[in-house]
Amino acid sequence: MVAAGVSGLRQAWRAAEVYDGDEDWIEPLLTLAQEVLSLYGEQGGYLDYSALADEVRREQRRLADLEADARFVCLQVTRPRYRQLHPSRNLETIQGVGQDGAAVYVAFVGEPNRFANQRAFRGWSGMIPSSDQSGEQEGKGLHITRAGPDLVKKYAFLGAETARRWDPQIAAIYYDQMVNKGNHHTQAVCACVTHLLDRIRVVLTEDRPYELRDVDGTPVTPQQARAIIAERYTVPEAVRRRNTRRARRERRERKEERRKKSGSRPVKG
């Protein structure tokens, strides 16, 4: 890691299939690696790097076995059962919902009509902000409840990350969250998740294919949708850098430092 440096790690991360736009962890992780070398030495005087490498290889073999078992269950158990329960496979017409994600939704949602409305479905998923009300005041900017099934939250987040690249309506939400509301990438994707879940409930309830539409409701092809997103809803790189957790934290720290120097009290609320 130290040899690769920030640029090497960033390049490898951007080439990874699971890249999500968040690069804030790279520099802290590199700093940690440098501290490990500083503490234990590069030649292994205090740490047996050969033994450590053997341990890592054993764990990699164990992980490979677990992945093989998981793949067997997926191909021989989960997918065939999913196709029985949802033979139309209309869920997969939603941008961001693949076969495995659809199987998760079918398994956990069960009968979609058991939810009275979209609000109830969102609440069940755990992807809505917590409530903090007192008298006539209501807390804002709270964390999501995380009350729902973990697999649903996982696939909903991954699905929303894909959907924002293909669905103009969800792309517009992501763009607004990043550009106008100043949220970082993860917050913006979480805002998209609830809208993806709305689509999932409707498709499960009505069992009909999903149709891509522009923000004004006009039906569009996948190619047109991509062109619309590229033209209207591409978040500038400068905005991404401005909205990272690190940049936001540094701005808060500078603001607090200026407040301390001026002797003013922090504003509550």
For each of the chain's 269 residues, which pLDDT tens digit applies?
A: 899 999 999 999 999 887 878 888 999 999 999 998 888 887 767 788 888 889 999 999 999 999 999 999 999 999 999 999 999 999 999 999 999 999 999 999 999 999 999 989 988 988 776 544 333 443 444 455 567 789 999 999 999 999 999 999 999 999 999 999 989 899 999 999 999 999 999 999 999 999 999 999 999 999 999 999 999 999 999 888 888 878 778 878 888 888 777 776 655 54
- Asked if residue 81 is part of any domain, the answer here is no
Q: Is residue 68 part of a domain?
A: no
Angle between helices 185-206 and 150-166 (to 10 degrees): 100
Per-residue pLDDT, 131 = 42
- Domains of the chain: total: 1
* 63 belongs to a structural domain: no
Residue 135: per-residue pLDDT: 39
What's the CA gap between 94 and 88, in Å, rounded?
13
**Residue 199 carries which side chain, given as an amino acid letter?**
R
Q: What local confidence, expressed as pLDDT, does residue 231 receive?
A: 96
The DSSP bridge partners found for residue 133 are 138
**Domain assignment of residue 97, yes or no:** yes
Q: How many CB atoms lie within 10 A of CB 160?
A: 26
Q: Is residue 195 part of a domain?
A: yes
Q: Please give the full DSSP string across 204-224, using - where no structure is assigned.
A: HHH------B-TTS-B--HHH
Rg (CA), the chain: 23
Residue 24 CB partners (closer than 8 Å, separation 6+): 244, 245, 246
Output the pLDDT for position 143. 56
The answer to the question of residue 98 being in a domain is yes
* CA distance linking residue 35 with residue 17, whole number of Å: 29
pLDDT at 247: 78
| Residue 263 located in a structural domain | no
Provide the pLDDT for residue 260.
Answer: 79
Residue span of the structural domain in which 169 resides: 86-130+140-235
State the first-to-last Cα distance of the chain, in angstroms, to the nearest integer. Answer: 42
pLDDT value of position 76: 96
Ranges of beta strands (E only) in the chain are: 133-134, 137-138
Identity of the amino acid at 261: K
Is residue 245 included in any domain, yes or no?
no
